[in-house]
Each structure stands twice: as C-alpha cells, then as structure tokens.
Amino acid sequence: MRRDLTDARMGRLVGADGRTYSLRARALERLQVEALVESGSPVVAYLPGGRLLWHDEDDAWPAWADARSAPEAASASRWESPDGASLVVLVWHG
C-alpha cells in the first residue's frame, strides 16, 4: 500500500502503520537496504518539495528499485520504532 504521510517530521515520524520511528543509521549501503526490504520493512520516499510517501507490502521493493535505478541520487537510512520494527527512508536529491 502506498500512502502520503502528511504529519511527518524528519527526525521522528509516525508511519502509516501507527508506529513512531526515529533515525538509527544513516547512509545505508545497497545490500543493507535490500536486506531490510526483503525482510518486510516498509519504505518511505522523501521527495523534493517535502512530500513523504509510505510504501509497504508489494510497493516497498518497487520503490527501492526506482531509487536504485534513477538518474537522480537517493540516499537511504534506517529508522526504528520502540518495538524494534525497521523502516527505510529514501531521500531523493533532485
């Protein structure tokens, strides 16, 4: 499912799953992102202009594939909720 996150702030965000996530690791490498996505972590795309899009289930892998192959650069970070759930945030540098 893909969903806009309108009340998110960088540094802490409430995901579409109702969990509150905070930054745990910056500058993830490709294999780290792929491992997180394959294990079921949702992906949030932070697009130029401040728009945040939540991708889970079938949408997480295509969101990562788009970032990986795009001509614009995107960086990835790992965010975590207090209950240990991980989230990948892709920041597009357009």
Contacts for 60 with CB less than 8 Å, ≥ 6 apart: 37, 40, 41, 42, 43, 88
Task: Give the model confidence (pLDDT) of 65-83 as tens digits.
Answer: 888 887 777 889 999 999 9
* Beta-bridge partner residues of 30: none
Report d(CA 22, CA 10) in Å as an integer.
8
| pLDDT mean by block of 10 residues, the chain; 94 residues | 51 86 89 94 86 87 86 86 94 76
